[in-house]
Structure 1
Amino acid sequence: MGKRRLVRLPFGLIGAGIITVVFTTAAIWMSVVDDPHGGEPTATISLDHAVQGVTQHDIGVVGIEPGVMDDLGPSLRAPEKPDPLGPRYASDALEEGTRSNEAVKGLSTKPDQRISETSAHGLLPKVDDTSLRPLDVYARPAENAFSSSPKIAVVVGGVGLNTAWAQTAVDRLPVDVTLAMAPYGTSLELLMQRARSKGHELLLQVPLEPFDFPDNDPGPHTLLVSLPEDEMLDRLNWLMARTTNYVGLINTMGARFTSTGSSLQLFLEELKMRGLMFADNGGSSRSIAAEVAKEVQTPFSGTDVVLDDVPRADAIDAKLLQLEAIARERGVAVASASALPVTIARIEEWARDLEERGLQLVPVSATIDRQDPVR
């Protein structure tokens, strides 16, 4: 009898066939079921009523991401950058919520009687018995959400001299742009109310003596270095009574005045006594306002860049880029400008994506007592 031959099964082919069947079945299942998350944990709920018009394509899986920063210990968190702003010479009576993360839709439009006094010229700002200042009450709260971002303040002056331009500035500029009202403007009370109802912080412009006065005259009641103290203060009171609800004063011209220590000291001491800040418009390289303000502890902010000394779109755009560079280098930068149509248009365009570029627009009161401005 011959030997029986053993038949070998083709196990390799069988294995390949099984794998092919498995992958083919899986592919058919995914193409039919269309569920890329198959195999993940699921939850089933029962609906009391049928939902009409909903298919599997309308249903998705919502991923819940863990809070990465919440899982990090203190040593792994990104260190906070130091605040580039210096001490604010703050009152002990700062109102609750003066600096807030809440969106500000509008600011007060009526003078606060606690910080107002009647004079022969009209209402004047004052510090009340609890040390509450107009600067505290009328300042626009600055957003804290971007506390580590470089900050930029822009002050637009001359608001009120041209009614149409003033309305354009109020309506089109971002609310964190501070507006400086001219004391000679028409309908200042109505303009103040409109600007603050929109959310703009306000300064009042004060005319100070230039070197070529009277050939170059800022206007009636200009403060002159030759004036006796009582007359200078009377002129200042007349100017401050033109409107209300402002956080401080900013100069118009004033190269001689801001370089004369005795007159400047009297002026800044009066502002401190009335609970106001002073902003230097940056028009004179000879100004010693920052030094005198520090000496007498008057809240102060100085201008780094004048945006529209050349009132042309390309020149303004170049100055805005310079402003950004200063802010990134120093943490804070301040600009001054005029309420010209071209200036308003360029600032409006520039500010649209400012936060996306890692910068924060703030009111000028948020830049008080920072590092010395660029000269």
Structure 2
Amino acid sequence: MKIFKVLTPLRAASIVLAVVALVIVLDQLVVKRDYAPPPSHDVTEAIVAVERDVIPTPDFAPSLPLSTEPLQTVDPAVVVDEDIIPHEPETVDDVVDELLSAPVHHAATNPRVVIIIDDMGVDVKRSAAVVDLPAGLTLAYLPYASNIKAQTAKAKEAGHELMVHVPMEPMSQTKDPGPEVLRVGQDEAAFAQILQDGLNAFDGYVGINNHMGSKLTQDKTAMARVMTELKSRNLYFIDSRTIQNSVAGDMAREAGVPHASRDVFLDHENTAEFVSKSLAQVERKALKDGLAIAIGHPKDVTIEGLRAWLPTLKDKGIELVPASQAVK
């Protein structure tokens, strides 16, 4: 009987200790199951890189005819004012590869893309090839192109939207925007005459964008003049964003002119691979944000890339729309 009285407290203590031990073990198992290690430094860097705009934004000057040779590498020291941000080539490829391999999250309910083709009309053969692409593109014609009224009439008949690609002064003095150019500090009467000549070059357009213009689009006085004329004609403005410090959007907003800005340049590098990767970037931005505005040029690689890519949009749930449906 005495032995039983001694063992009973011992047995009770053992049971308590066993229960405590079991609780500790179960707690550790739950912690291990729920624990997720923080992202590594490499993953964090990749996420940050994806958020950057890695595609340069140069002024484009068409030649007659446009060259199909790859663009030469630019010296970063020469283009400080041109908004061409230098990147190591492997960094660009790594970021684009990350974009291509990452899962697509359909955040936008009605994703749309605008494809603008600049420098239209000068290279007649390639401009005609652009017109033959599926309807719904927005084509920006240079006002000094030959036989411009016939070219633009055919483009409109094919179902494309028309813009005037207005030559504006670039930062670089070595680039030639064309015979009649809007310039900073220009006499107001001369400025108005050049702008009106460009806008009177052909009919059927509903807006304009800047050809080059990395200097002019930084000047509030000049852009206010442009917006006053656009307001009087009920036209929209697309900022090609050839420089980060552009005030075009601000001046358009003040004047009550519908406007939007370019997101992606498709063919800064004249290769099929670059165009393909740029189109993938356009897709992802549209699916994420609901809208992506891209600008390309009448180059063989761009034409072929669009010919293959445009028919795939419907199955991806993406709508091709003209620029007039993207401005606000």
Post-superposition CA distance 1:136-171 (Å, at most 9, x none) = xxxxxxxxxxx9420000000111111111111111
> Which residue of structure 1 aligns with residue 148 of structure 2?
188
> Which residue of structure 2 aligns with residue 289 of structure 1?
248
Secondary structure at the residue paired with 2:312?
coil
> Which residue of structure 2 aligns with residue 239 of structure 1?
198
1:153 is the counterpart of 2:132: no
Whole-Å separation in 2 of the counterparts to 1:257 and 1:212: 12
- In structure 1, stretches of 5+ residues that fail to align are 1-146, 370-375
> Which residue of structure 2 aligns with residue 164 of structure 1?
125
Residue of structure 2 aligned with 1:208, choices 148, 168, 174:
168
> Which residue of structure 1 aligns with residue 135 of structure 2?
175
Question: Counterpart amino acid of 1:176?
Answer: G
Check the 8 A contact 1:152/1:362 in 2, yes or no. Answer: yes
Structure with higher helix content:
2
List 4+ stretches of structure 1 deviating above 4 A: none
Question: Counterpart amino acid of 1:220?
Answer: P
Question: Counterpart amino acid of 2:110?
Answer: S
Check the 8 A contact 1:156/1:179 in 2, yes or no. Answer: yes
Check the 8 A contact 1:258/1:287 in 2, yes or no. Answer: yes
Question: Counterpart amino acid of 1:327?
Answer: A
> Which residue of structure 1 aligns with residue 68 of structure 2?
none
**TM-score normalised per structure 1:** 0.57
Whole-Å separation in 1 of the counterparts to 2:255 and 2:237: 12
> Which residue of structure 2 aligns with residue 367 of structure 1?
326
Q: Structure 1 residue 276: deviation in Å?
A: 0.8
Q: Structure 1 residue 238: deviation in Å?
A: 1.0
Aligned residues: 221
Post-superposition CA distance 1:207-250 (Å, at most 9, x none) = 0011123x222011100011121110001111111111101111
Residue of structure 2 aligned with 1:300, choices 259, 273, 276:
259
Q: Structure 1 residue 283: deviation in Å?
A: 2.0
Post-superposition CA distance 1:291-318 (Å, at most 9, x none) = 2211211111210001111111100111
Question: Counterpart amino acid of 2:161?
Answer: E
Question: Counterpart amino acid of 2:125?
Answer: A
Question: Counterpart amino acid of 2:123?
Answer: N
**TM-score normalised per structure 2:** 0.66
> Which residue of structure 1 aligns with residue 55 of structure 2?
none
Question: Counterpart amino acid of 1:170?
Answer: V
- In structure 2, stretches of 5+ residues that fail to align are 1-107
Check the 8 A contact 1:282/1:336 in 2, yes or no. Answer: no
> Which residue of structure 2 aligns with residue 52 of structure 1?
none
Whole-Å separation in 1 of the counterparts to 2:153 and 2:123: 17
1:279 is the counterpart of 2:246: no
Whole-Å separation in 2 of the counterparts to 1:241 and 1:291: 26
Q: Structure 1 residue 199: deviation in Å?
A: 0.8
Secondary structure at the residue paired with 1:352?
helix
Q: Tell which has more relative contact order, 1 or 2 (C-alpha 8 A, sep 6+).
A: 2
Secondary structure at the residue paired with 1:272?
helix
Whole-Å separation in 1 of the counterparts to 2:166 and 2:181: 8
Whole-Å separation in 2 of the counterparts to 1:323 and 1:289: 23
Whole-Å separation in 2 of the counterparts to 1:325 and 1:293: 28
Whole-Å separation in 2 of the counterparts to 1:347 and 1:288: 31
Post-superposition CA distance 1:317-343 (Å, at most 9, x none) = 111111111111211110011011110
1:199 is the counterpart of 2:147: no
Secondary structure at the residue paired with 2:165?
strand
Identity %: 31
CA RMSD of aligned residues (A): 1.3
> Which residue of structure 2 aligns with residue 253 of structure 1?
212
Whole-Å separation in 1 of the counterparts to 2:322 and 2:252: 19
> Which residue of structure 2 aligns with residue 269 of structure 1?
228
Whole-Å separation in 2 of the counterparts to 1:179 and 1:349: 18
Map 1:301-316 onto structure 2 (within 5 A): 301-316=260-275
Post-superposition CA distance 1:159-199 (Å, at most 9, x none) = 1111111111111x221111111112111111111111111
